[in-house]
């Protein structure tokens, strides 16, 4: 009897060892399967994250480049307005500021999605471009506030016949009408460098010619004040009411209603300016 129990006990022990061996053989396979599945899922997530980061990095670089180009346009527009007649400076400054802010925000987002050891190398060029763009946009605004007309100005056409008084009068009559009351010449003794001061009180137009560019630079303001005074003297006349402007050339200045000076500018050239509060 005792021998029978020993036989059954030995059989049970062998069955347990076989079951344990089978479990050991199966466990590595199951563990490897689980690890492979986890690695496959992790690889997909990593690839998806890398794709998103790459797209955001590209967008940040594009935004930084856009900001830099817009700010360069704003500075160029402030220095030489004629170079960008199709784009307003405030619009260029706004585009530069928005694009720079977007570039900086995207770089911050990208760095939060990147391992800490690689963050310092991510988006550095975009950050530098955005900062340079903001500085250039600020410089453009400063230049515009100091020189509203720009620093570099295009050459102004000037074909006024300053050497011929009759042709000067004829040019003004061509745009303002015939001076039926006759032209009146004013003395120039009080204005050194002034060659001639002529006015037609009937048509309310006048012009001044100068001996040289230096004299024009010195006497232009007093001569303009004299013509404004002539207009004020006839302010009670309905014909003296209107939008008055001056047309300036290197050696001459003409004054009259704006529509007449605009028409005269097409003939003689020059720079058009508005006379404010002349007849008030």
Task: Write down the mean pLDDT value for the chain.
Answer: 77
Q: In this structure, what token pair is assigned to residue 142?
A: 């400063």
User: pTM score, two decimals?
Assistant: 0.49
Beta partners for residue 257, in sequence order: 244
DSSP string, 181-244: T--EEE--TTSTTEEEEEEETTTTEEEEEESSHHHHHHHHHHHHHHHHHHHHHTTTSGGG-S-E
* Residue 277 region by backbone torsions, left for phi larger than 0, else alpha for psi between -120 and 50, else beta: left
Query: pLDDT tens, 75-114?
Result: 988 888 877 766 667 888 899 999 999 999 988 888 887 7
User: Domains of the chain: which residue ranges?
Assistant: 2-146, 165-274
- How many residues does this entry show for the chain? 280
Per residue in 259-268, is it b (16+ CB within 10 Å) or e — as a string?
ebbebbbeeb
Give yes or no for residue 19 having a pLDDT over 90: no
CA distance 210 to 220: 9
CA distance 96 to 102: 10
Q: In this structure, what token pair is assigned to residue 110?
A: 């990208």
Tell which wins on pLDDT, 59 or 119.
59
Task: Give the pLDDT of residue 101.
Answer: 93
CA distance 175 to 197: 19
Contact 100, 74 (CB under 8 A): no
Contact 251, 234 (CB under 8 A): no
């Amino acid at each position: 009897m005792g021998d029978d129990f020993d036989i059954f006990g030995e059989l049970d022990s062998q069955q347990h060892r076989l079951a344990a061996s089978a479990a050991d053989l199966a466990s590595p396979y199951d563990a490897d399967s689980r690890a492979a599945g986890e690695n496959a899922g992790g690889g997909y997530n990593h690839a998806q994250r890398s794709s998103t980061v790459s797209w955001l990095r590209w967008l940040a670089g594009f935004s930084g480049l856009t900001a830099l180009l817009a700010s360069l346009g704003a500075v160029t527009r402030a220095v030489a307005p004629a170079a960008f007649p199709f784009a307003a400076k405030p619009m260029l400054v706004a585009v530069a500021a928005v694009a720079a802010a977007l570039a900086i925000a995207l770089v911050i987002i990208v760095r939060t999605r990147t391992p800490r050891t690689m963050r310092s190398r991510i988006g550095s060029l975009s950050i530098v471009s955005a900062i340079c763009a903001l500085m250039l946009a600020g410089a453009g605004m400063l230049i515009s506030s100091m020189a509203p007309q720009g620093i570099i100005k295009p050459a102004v056409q000037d074909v006024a016949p300053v050497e011929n008084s009759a042709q000067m009068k004829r040019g003004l009559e061509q745009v303002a009408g015939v001076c039926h009351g006759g032209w009146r010449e004013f003395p120039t003794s009080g204005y050194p460098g002034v060659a001639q001061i002529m006015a037609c009180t009937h048509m309310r137009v006048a012009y001044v010619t100068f001996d040289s560019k230096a004299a024009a630079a010195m006497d232009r303001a007093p001569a303009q004040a004299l013509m404004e005074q002539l207009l004020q003297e006839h302010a009670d006349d309905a014909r003296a009411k209107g939008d008055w402007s001056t047309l300036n050339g290197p050696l001459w200045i003409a004054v009259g209603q704006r529509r007449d000076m605009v028409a005269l500018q097409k003939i003689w050239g020059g720079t058009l300016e508005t006379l404010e509060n002349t007849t008030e």
